[in-house]
A and B are shown apart, each in its own frame.
Chain A
Amino acid sequence: MALTLSGPARRRLRTLGFLSPWLIGFGVFFAYPLIATVYFSFMHYNQIKAPTFVGLRNWKYVFQDMPLFGPALWNTLWLVVVMVALRVVFGLSLGLLVTKIKSGVGFFRTAFYLPYLAPPVAATVAFVFLLNPATGPVNEVLSHIGLTGPNWFNDPSWAKPSLVMLSLWGIGDLMVVFMAALLDVPKEQYEAAELDGAGAWSRFRYVTWPSITPIVMFAVVTGVVQTMQYYTQALVAGKIASGVSIGPGSVIQPGYPDHSTLTVPQLVYSMGFQNFNTGAACVLSLVLFAIAMAVTMLLMRKRSGLLAAED
């Protein structure tokens, strides 16, 4: 107050003041750990003895000798491709359906949305029960209509599709996003298209699609980044379906059955917190980071609108 600061200097100080919680957070909880992860990726460190420099040994180990890296990367990429594609298609279809509903919109919207809110652990435990091959209601219902259900979470070739089903059940957020985008399409364009004799498909192709592509793009990119982090559902499904009783500290092979649900984030956890191989865990983290960043860059380019100011 008594200090005589010039206008611009005071404004700069004010901006810094308002931004300070984030500036501190960014430095302490983002920049520091990221640099430390790079540092540890060149170290041998078991979290007890002091770290020693080993050059590229951890990197070589992960890419050449780590038996689970291949399956984990494959599963993660499989989930990224299949889950994101199906989520976008299904979310968009559901959004379209909801905008066409004339009666009981509130009920349908809530019914489609509610599963999204179910805590991931609870939803996963519930799905492992529902899809239990012997006693689960789903196979029970299937048997009533003369079908033999698969072994779902207990079959390596069905475990990932089961996770996809779980994820499609929780599609509510995407549905809402697409619904809002669809309602934003100018009505006059539909009317004009109809006058020109456009059928339902042409109307979608030439009116709806062009105006929602930015949102579809956004959904794809955020979906990819989210699926890169896929962890809780895969881990819990594997643990519960394996039926092993797990006490704290007990080490089980992750990714039951046959590593079919092992993802890269799970491997980071088991390397860092069960095997205490900090170096390898940090290499895996950086692989994850590289892919996520590449996708984010793409988002920045395609959706620069995200950064738009008020003018």
Chain B
Amino acid sequence: MTSTTPITAPAVAAERERESGPARRRARRRRVLHWIAVHSVAVAVALLFVLPFVFVFLTSVMSDDQAMSGDLWPHAWHWENYTTVFRTDGFLDWWKNSLIYAGLGTLFTVCSAIPVAYALAKFRFRGRRTAMILVISTMMLPPQVIVIPMYLVWAQQFHLSGTLWPLIIPMAFGDAYSIFLLRQFLLTIPKEYIESAKVDGCGELRTLLRIVVPMAKPGIAAIALFQFFYCWNDYFGPQIYAAQNPASWTLSYGLESFKSAHSVNWNLTMAATLLVMAPVCIVFFFAQKAFVEGVTLTGVKG
């Protein structure tokens, strides 16, 4: 824009409003109506998004009989449903397994993704473009495509079926999605910082650990959160490797069998459902910013 165009649209609008009283009143009324329209739509949609949670919660504190009745409001509040769920066989083990899978999986992913993403973002080398294409291809690959040969290797060569290790170990060797996301984030770090560190005599590894990692904390937090949620929510992986051995079930996998075992107890099932959702919601509330930034980064920042 040149400096000779000082007249902006708001300025013009303001000019017009100053000119006549009725026009100004009309504009104001339109703004108020617009505000009301937008917010009523927003409230209606928000209600649709929140109601499922409300119904699930209300059912989770109903008595066994009432939960099957179609009633919307509990006659009496049966908070003990939650302790009943916790006392169910295996439920605490599922928690433990989910935490191990999600915790170790996240740790491995972060440690392996950082150097790879850094190299892809900041090193110049032949085949860098090809490497990025391959990363994106793996990201797009449905897990079902490679699951059968992988299962055969883990089950027949390493005898690790019935455990979660076949899911955890690969994460020490880079996860395409995390590498891609972190690389997009590292691109935004100005190369001057890295160059000046080199001038000061830092080696490549020191530069990464001392300069880049501290600056990339939001990006690292985002991939850590995504990976934690991915593992926590994963159903397909545990179904392939842990299904035969209930001692290795995770919460996501166990929840469905919990429902099958308590085929009539919707109240207990809904209590268990909320208990599976709870950690994810708690983590989200503490790390909202990193999470939303991460989502944005995957879709927008080319």
Contact partner of A122 (CB less than 8 A), chosen from B9, B147, B276, is B276
B42, A101: Cβ atoms closer than 8 Å: yes
Majority DSSP secondary structure for residues of A touching B: helix
B145, A285: Cβ atoms closer than 8 Å: yes
Q: Mark A195-220, 1 if CB is under 8 A from B, else 0.
A: 10000000000000000001100110
- Look across to chain B and name the residue whose beta carbon is closest to the beta carbon of A195: B9
Cβ < 8 Å to B, chain A residues 89-106: 94, 97-98, 100-104
A231, B236: Cβ atoms closer than 8 Å: yes
A310, B121: Cβ atoms closer than 8 Å: yes
Q: Mark B143-187, 1 if CB is under 8 A from A, else 0.
A: 111111111110000000000000000101110000100000001
Residue B286 CB within 8 A of the other chain: no
Cβ < 8 Å to A, chain B residues 181-215: 187, 191, 204
Contact partner of A97 (CB less than 8 A), chosen from B42, B118, B132, is B42
- Among A17, A33, A127, A306, chain B packs the most CB atoms within 10 A around the CB of A33
CA distance A180 to B280 in the complex (A): 23
Q: Mark B274-302, 1 if CB is under 8 A from A, else 0.
A: 10110011001000100010011011101
CA distance A310 to B118 in the complex (A): 12
A119, B125: Cβ atoms closer than 8 Å: no
Residue A146 CB within 8 A of the other chain: no
A229, B56: Cβ atoms closer than 8 Å: no
Q: Do A122 and B277 form a contact, CB below 8 Å, given A25-B173, A191-B9, A194-B9?
A: yes
Least distance between B137 CB and chain A CB atoms (Å): 6
Q: Do A278 and B138 form a contact, CB below 8 Å, given A18-B115, A137-B70?
A: no
CA distance A228 to B143 in the complex (A): 10
- Look across to chain A and name the residue whose beta carbon is closest to the beta carbon of B266: A129
Q: Do A307 and B133 form a contact, CB below 8 Å, given A118-B277, A289-B141?
A: yes
Q: Do A21 and B9 form a contact, CB below 8 Å, given A265-B144, A281-B148?
A: no
* B22-30, B75-83, B84-92, B249-257: which lies at the interface: B249-257
* A7-15, A63-71, A77-85, A154-162: which lies at the interface: A7-15
Q: Do A169 and B52 form a contact, CB below 8 Å, given A22-B135, A129-B270, A288-B142?
A: yes
* Interface size class of chain B, counting residues whose CB lies under 8 Å from the partner chain: 35 or more
CA distance A103 to B146 in the complex (A): 48
Contact partner of B112 (CB less than 8 A), chosen from A21, A100, A117, is A21
Q: Do A115 and B280 form a contact, CB below 8 Å, given A191-B8, A194-B9, A286-B145?
A: no
- Known contacts A34-B146, A218-B299, A310-B187; can you find 15 more A-B pairs with CB under 8 A? A15-B125, A17-B115, A26-B174, A29-B173, A33-B150, A36-B149, A122-B252, A127-B52, A130-B55, A176-B292, A225-B142, A228-B142, A243-B263, A293-B140, A300-B136
- Write the residues of chain B forming the contact surface with A, with a CB cutoff of 8 angstroms: 1, 8-10, 12, 35, 38-39, 41-42, 45-46, 49-50, 52-53, 55-56, 59, 68-72, 112, 115-116, 118-123, 125, 128-129, 131-138, 140-153, 170, 172-174, 179, 187, 191, 204, 229, 232-233, 235-236, 239-240, 243-244, 246, 251-253, 255-257, 259-261, 263, 266, 269-270, 273-274, 276-277, 280-281, 284, 288, 292, 295-296, 298-300, 302
Question: Top 5 nearest A-B pairs by Cβ distance?
Answer: A25-B173, A177-B299, A191-B9, A305-B302, A36-B149
- Write the residues of chain A forming the contact surface with B, with a CB cutoff of 8 angstroms: 11-12, 14-15, 17-19, 21-22, 24-26, 28-30, 32-34, 36-37, 40, 47, 94, 97-98, 100-104, 107-108, 110-115, 117-122, 125-127, 129-130, 132, 134-137, 139-141, 169, 173-174, 176-177, 180-181, 184, 188, 190-192, 194-195, 214-215, 218-219, 222, 225, 228-229, 231-232, 235-236, 239-240, 243-249, 264-265, 268-269, 272-273, 278, 281-282, 285-286, 288-289, 292-293, 295-296, 299-300, 303, 305-310
